[in-house]
């Protein structure tokens, strides 16, 4: 206890160390708030993807559209070809559609929340608006029709747009928890026997570059750039926002960890410290407990504060329930991100402390830790995907894997997908090795 009190007093009375601690906390709190207050889309995605080619005309009141899908759009199991009623030809507007897909049969979908399976893919489709209800039908021959589904559309505008549409995802749609990577090429659907005449208008909704043509035989070709029509699930954006300042906040704590040890060498106070406490192992342990504990508390308070204070800003920018549920510190995943971030920051400080004891020079220790943190992040984009991933997995930056919210996260600086604690263990191994070497050298060297 005497050593702990002594090291705590040194930390609290050294202005440089206090400023490192406060500066790190300020950065870890301020950057998430600045990012969350920015434009929508800073984190995650909007509540929906609404990207397709739409060939349409106005429909006032009730009406029916029938067409044969001569060639459905391909390129992806969730490529969609069909008929749609949409309030306006803009992303996010209310809609109802009956459609066919290569891998999921016939569907009735509406407003990004309704998805009704309607059996095998059919050649003929029919969409009917009757009052506040939109119904979809399918047929193999254009004579015997089966219902696909009906959806209530209360409040839908009296005049809407009705027409033909096509879209095919790139890597947007996820199957079996992993992204389906397919070439990002346009998808073309061909319709004929369209029951409505009149003037048709082609519109790219959400993504530009589509085309639509009609030949003299009244065959409609609708070509869409890669896109999708789907609601987004929670991607953890409202939790991840709280970690935006982690990497920048680590740097002052790298300096703190090194200076806790090297400042005593620079000022020649280390002889006094070891004279008062000849057993050097407990001295190193006390410094590690005080420095690591202080960094952990500062990072924990800053990350938890950033999480709570960022929520109103993220809500204002559209990240709100039900797509983005309100995070709670009682949720084990949220608690793991907050506490794990604090633990990762503290371990980086301990790594710096160990290297400070080994090198005895603050600048050298700080440069060494900054290098092992920054170099993997810098070189990974230049390496083959598999090699770059293992560089991150085996470097101290692996500790940031604890910030994963979803088990499927497997991206830059989150190298241990589904195993966040493994990444933290790698970082802990580096810190433990540095402190072990420091202990051996402290016992052998003169002060």
19-23, 48-52, 172-176, 284-288: least confidently modelled range: 172-176
Would you say residue 44 has pLDDT above 70? Answer: no
Would you say residue 138 has pLDDT above 50? Answer: yes
Last residue of a domain, one of 196, 231, 266: 231
Would you say residue 265 has pLDDT above 90? Answer: no
Asked if 26 and 53 sit in the same domain, the reply is no
Return the percentage of the chain with pLDDT > 90, whole number: 52
Asked if 56 and 194 sit in the same domain, the reply is yes
All residues at 6 or more sequence positions from 208 whose CB lies less than 8 Å from its CB, including other chains:
225
Beta bridge mates, 231? 48
Asked if 265 and 405 sit in the same domain, the reply is yes
Last residue of a domain, one of 231, 264, 287: 231
Asked if 145 and 244 sit in the same domain, the reply is no
- Where on the phi/psi map is residue 318: left (φ > 0), alpha (ψ -120 to 50), or beta? left
Q: Is the peptide bond before 322 cis (omega within 30 degrees of 0)?
A: yes
16-30, 102-116, 304-318: least confidently modelled range: 304-318
All residues at 6 or more sequence positions from 379 whose CB lies less than 8 Å from its CB, including other chains:
388, 391
Return the percentage of the chain with pLDDT > 70, whole number: 88
Last residue of a domain, one of 231, 258, 277: 231
Burial of 32 (0-12, 13-18, 19+ CB in 10 A): buried
Tens-digit pLDDT profile for residues 340-358: 999 999 999 999 999 998 9
Q: Do 25 and 298 form a contact (C-beta atoms < 8 A)? A: yes
Number of neighbours of residue 70 by Cβ within 10 angstroms = 15
What is the number of domains present in the chain? Answer: 2
Asked if 205 and 297 sit in the same domain, the reply is no
pLDDT band at 97 (very low <50, low <70, confident <90, very high): very high
Q: Do 108 and 136 form a contact (C-beta atoms < 8 A)? A: yes
More reliable by pLDDT, 384 or 295: 295
pTM given for the model: 0.63
Would you say residue 26 has pLDDT above 50? Answer: yes
Asked if 271 and 392 sit in the same domain, the reply is yes
Instruction: Calculate the average pLDDT of the chain.
Output: 86
Q: Where are the alpha helices (DSSP H) in 394-446?
A: 420-444
- What is the total residue count of the chain? 447
Q: Supply the CATH number for residue 147's domain.
A: 2.60.120
Q: Which domain, by its residues, includes 125?
A: 48-231
Asked if 186 and 264 sit in the same domain, the reply is no
The C-alpha angle 59, 51, 42, rounded to 5 degrees, equals 130
Q: Among 260, 253, 246, which Cα is nearest to 340's?
A: 246
Q: What is the DSSP string of 281-319?
A: HHHHHHHHHHHHHHHHHHHHHHHHHHHHHHHHHHHHTT-
Instruction: State the pLDDT at residue 29.
Output: 95
pLDDT band at 40 (very low <50, low <70, confident <90, very high): very low
Instruction: State the pLDDT at residue 182.
Output: 46
Instruction: State the pLDDT at residue 45.
Output: 45
Tens-digit pLDDT profile for residues 355-387: 998 998 889 999 999 998 888 877 777 777 678
Helix axes 246-266, 362-379, angle to 10 degrees: 160
pLDDT band at 42 (very low <50, low <70, confident <90, very high): very low
pLDDT band at 395 (very low <50, low <70, confident <90, very high): confident
């Amino acid at each position: 206890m005497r050593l702990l009190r002594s090291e705590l007093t040194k930390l609290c009375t050294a202005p440089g160390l206090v400023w490192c601690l406060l500066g790190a906390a300020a950065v870890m709190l301020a950057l998430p708030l600045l990012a969350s207050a920015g434009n929508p889309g800073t984190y995650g995605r909007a509540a929906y993807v609404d990207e397709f080619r739409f060939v349409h005309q106005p429909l006032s009141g009730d009406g029916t559209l029938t067409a044969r899908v001569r060639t459905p759009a391909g390129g992806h199991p969730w490529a969609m070809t069909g008929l749609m009623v949409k309030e306006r030809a803009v992303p996010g507007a209310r809609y109802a559609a009956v459609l066919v897909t290569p891998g999921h049969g016939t569907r009735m979908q509406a407003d990004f929340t309704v998805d009704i399976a309607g059996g095998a893919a059919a050649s003929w489709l029919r969409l009917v608006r009757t009052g506040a209800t939109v119904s979809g039908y399918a047929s193999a021959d254009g004579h015997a029709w089966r219902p696909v589904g009906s959806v209530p559309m209360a409040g839908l505008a009296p005049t809407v747009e009705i027409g033909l549409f096509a879209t095919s995802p790139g890597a947007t749609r996820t199957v079996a928890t992993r992204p389906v990577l397919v070439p990002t090429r346009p998808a073309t659907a061909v319709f004929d026997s369209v029951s409505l005449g009149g003037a048709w208008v082609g519109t790219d909704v959400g993504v530009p570059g589509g085309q639509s043509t009609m030949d003299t035989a009244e065959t409609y070709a609708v070509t869409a750039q890669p896109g999708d029509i789907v609601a987004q699930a929670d991607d953890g954006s409202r939790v991840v926002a709280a970690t935006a300042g982690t990497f920048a906040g680590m740097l002052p704590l790298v300096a703190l960890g090194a200076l806790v040890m090297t400042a005593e060498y620079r000022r020649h106070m280390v002889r006094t410290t070891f004279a008062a406490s000849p057993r050097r192992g407990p001295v190193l342990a006390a410094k590690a407990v005080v420095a690591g504990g202080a960094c952990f508390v500062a990072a924990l308070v800053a990350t938890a504060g950033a999480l709570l204070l960022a929520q109103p800003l993220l809500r204002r920018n559209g990240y709100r329930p039900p797509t983005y549920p309100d995070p709670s510190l009682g949720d084990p995943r949220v608690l793991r991100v907050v506490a794990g971030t604090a633990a990762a920051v503290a371990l980086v400080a301990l790594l710096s402390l160990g290297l400070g004891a080994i090198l005895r020079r603050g600048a050298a220790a700080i440069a060494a830790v900054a290098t092992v943190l920054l170099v993997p992040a810098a070189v990974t984009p230049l390496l083959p995907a598999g090699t770059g991933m293992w560089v991150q997995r085996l470097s101290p930056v692996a500790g940031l894997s604890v910030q994963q919210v979803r088990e499927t996260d497997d991206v830059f600086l989150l190298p241990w997908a589904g195993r966040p604690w493994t990444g933290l263990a790698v970082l802990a191994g580096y810190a433990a090795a540095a402190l072990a070497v420091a202990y051996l050298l402290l016992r052998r060297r003169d002060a």
